[in-house]
Amino acid sequence: SQQGEEDPQALSIQEGENATMNCSYKTSINNLQWYRQNSGRGLVHLILIRSNEREKHSGRLRVTLDTSKKSSSLLITASRAADTASYFCATGGWEGSRLTFGEGTQLTVNP
């Protein structure tokens, strides 16, 4: 079963605006990762946040994690048309090797 659920399913914004995507999960996690997928292509790793971390930055990306609410958010600041893609959260548990993906948020950045 899917662990992560992204919200919203689709998001359309103008270039220069910020984009925020949310991910909720059900069980205790070791880490949470965000991946990006351009249309029909392979996923690319963006950023990882561990369960003992609350916030992490990488360039224009900011990820937060609230383990008490079992949720994470991905903020892309000053978005560009090239950021148009699907964004997936993936959770890693404490046992085993499984990384479980959500269904993704489709982000469209209009020039």
Partner 1 sequence: EAQVTQNPRYLITVTGKKLTVTCSQNMNHEYMSWYRQDPGLGLRQIYYSMNVEVTDKGDVPEGYKVSRKEKRNFPLILESPSPNQTSLYFCASRERWDRVSLEQYFGPGTRLTVT
CB closer to partner 1, 5 vs 15: 5
CB closer to partner 1, 34 vs 71: 34
DSSP strand E in the chain: where? 5-7, 10-14, 19-24, 31-37, 43-50, 55-58, 61-66, 71-76, 85-92, 99-101, 105-110
CB closer to partner 1, 84 vs 92: 92
To partner 1, the closest distance from the beta carbon of 40 in angstroms equals 7
Q: Are 108 and 11 in contact (CB under 8 A)?
A: yes
The residues binding partner 1 (CB under 8 A) are 1-2, 30-31, 33, 35, 40-45, 48, 50, 88, 90, 92-93, 96-104
Distance CA 43, CA 31 (A): 18
Residue 81 has phi, psi (to 5 degrees) of: -55, -35
To partner 1, the closest distance from the beta carbon of 1 in angstroms equals 7
To partner 1, the closest distance from the beta carbon of 36 in angstroms equals 11
To partner 1, the closest distance from the beta carbon of 28 in angstroms equals 13
